[in-house]
Amino acid sequence: MEKPLTQHITPDRKPLSLKEYEQVGGYRAVHKILKELTPEGVTNLVKDSNLRGRGGAGFNTGLKWSFVPMGPEVPRPKYLVANADEMEPGTFKDRILLEGNPHQLIEGMIVASYAIQADISYVFLRWAYKKAAQEITKAINEAYAAGYLGQNILGSGYSLEMHLHTGVGRYMCGEETALLNALEGKRATPRAKPPFPQVSGLFGKPTIVNNVETLCCLPHIVNNGAAWFKGLSRTGDAGTKIYGVSGKVNKPGAWELPMGVTVRELIEEYAGGMKNGYRFKGALPGGASTDFLVEEHLDTPMDYPSIAAVGSRMGTGTMIILDDHTCPVGFVHNLQHFFAQESCGFCTPCREGLPWVEKILLSLDRGEGKPEDIQLLNFHTKALGPGNTFCALAPGAMEPLQSALKYFGEDFERHINEKQCPWK
């Protein structure tokens, strides 16, 4: 089984130096694109590979790049931003790549920057990733010293500056336009679209924002080709994916596997199954802002269309397990507490609705709930749903709630009828 993203990451995550990275083929993709490929050629290669964004949305990466205006008349500078603000609860895949092989990310960023002819690039990093910040800073300095960054890279005439920017710690910064506002020194609130960042992004200039895992795939696609990348997968969604599992399993963790591995395989084979005395009740397949899957969905392939077909989203591919000893109401309340805290407060449904949902769930958890609370919660799942808020934070927050009400409705009713949490 090929594992291009993690093959050089050791259990202690001691990253390769630049020299060590070059010895295993590192920066070969940079040499190749600068000598053999045009920017359009790189974009078409990535488009043909069917690399879908690994940040959650799953949009075709090469197609996203193709929306960036090209030519001498385009406003400069252009920007490329690596979204390393990994704050989705239950998600920890990018941290492995950031700490374990930062040169892979830098090389991917150079490939993406060349494709869109970006002049300046940023790594927008989550504030809490202290080790990652140290390793990325070191790797950027090494890349500059070796001539992979800066002016006239490898004598090609192409130049690229790269900087690390550490965010101050808001979940909202994971949304690309809020990230751009934060990078400009403004409040991290999302922007209206259009204009889209590809045309008017950072400081009003053409900008691409890509997830860390997405960017790390690029050197391997350049070196090995689109057909090879497609062949790594079991399904129509190409490549490998870093999947994760957390919860009451024997071996929680993250693994690079072919796209399309099933939910059951992830839990039973790679995560070692449920711990003794615990049974599987449900799982959020792609982080906290996805709908629950239950036992009937265990043989579903973990790819974008298959997960969507059973009513959830692949998201980040990092699964959170709900077991039979954990209260579903308390589980969802914990998530809603997070989302209510992290709302930027820009739009009324999110600003007012999420604290209201959290308050209702807290009263249920304390045994103070009323029959009409279930109706109110169902109302909020629609009122805060897609199309009713300025961005996707509140609709994402409603996904675990609406699916919990669907699959674990009896557990909500028990809190009201028994006037206490049955798990306490």
Could you read off the pLDDT of 135-164 as tens digits, one per residue? Answer: 999 999 999 999 999 999 999 999 999 999
11 has a pLDDT exceeding 90: no
Could you say which DSSP state residue 258 is in? E
What is the rounded distance in angstroms from the CA atom of residue 125 to the CA atom of residue 95? 10
The tokens for 349 are: 């449904």
19 φ, ψ to 5°? Answer: -60, -45
Indicate the pLDDT class of residue 222, thresholds 50, 70 and 90: very high
The tokens for 240 are: 């490998």
Selected residue with higher pLDDT from 168 and 281: 281
Tens of pLDDT, residue by residue over 356-373, are 999 999 999 999 999 999
337 has a pLDDT exceeding 90: yes
168 has a pLDDT exceeding 90: no
* 347 in Cβ contact with 376 (< 8 Å): no
* 166 in Cβ contact with 133 (< 8 Å): yes
Secondary structure class of 117 (helix, strand, coil): coil
What is the rounded distance in angstroms from the CA atom of residue 238 to the CA atom of residue 230? 4
What is the rounded distance in angstroms from the CA atom of residue 46 to the CA atom of residue 283? 32
What is the rounded distance in angstroms from the CA atom of residue 162 to the CA atom of residue 107? 11
Q: What is the pLDDT of residue 29?
A: 98
- Whether the predicted model's global pTM rises above the 0.85 cut: yes
Q: What is the pLDDT of residue 163?
A: 98
313 φ, ψ to 5°? Answer: -135, 150
Q: What is the pLDDT of residue 169?
A: 78
Indicate the pLDDT class of residue 12, thresholds 50, 70 and 90: confident
What is the rounded distance in angstroms from the CA atom of residue 133 to the CA atom of residue 126? 9
User: Cis bond leading into 77, ω under 30°?
Assistant: yes
R_g of the chain computed on alpha carbons? 22
Indicate the pLDDT class of residue 272, thresholds 50, 70 and 90: very high
Mean pLDDT of the residues in the chain:
95
Position 220, amino acid: H
- Beta bridge pairs of residue 165: 124
174 has a pLDDT exceeding 90: no
- Beta bridge pairs of residue 107: none
Name all domains of the chain by residue range, CATH numbers in brackets.
18-231 (3.40.50.11540), 240-323 (3.10.20.600), 328-417 (1.20.1440.230)
Indicate the pLDDT class of residue 1, thresholds 50, 70 and 90: confident
What is the rounded distance in angstroms from the CA atom of residue 393 to the CA atom of residue 403? 16
Tens of pLDDT, residue by residue over 69-125, are 999 999 999 999 999 999 988 899 999 999 999 999 999 999 999 999 999 999 999
For range 182-209, the mean pLDDT? 95
Those residues with Cβ within 8 angstroms of residue 206's Cβ, 6 or more apart along the chain or in another chain = 68, 69, 74, 75, 78, 79, 116, 197, 198, 199, 200
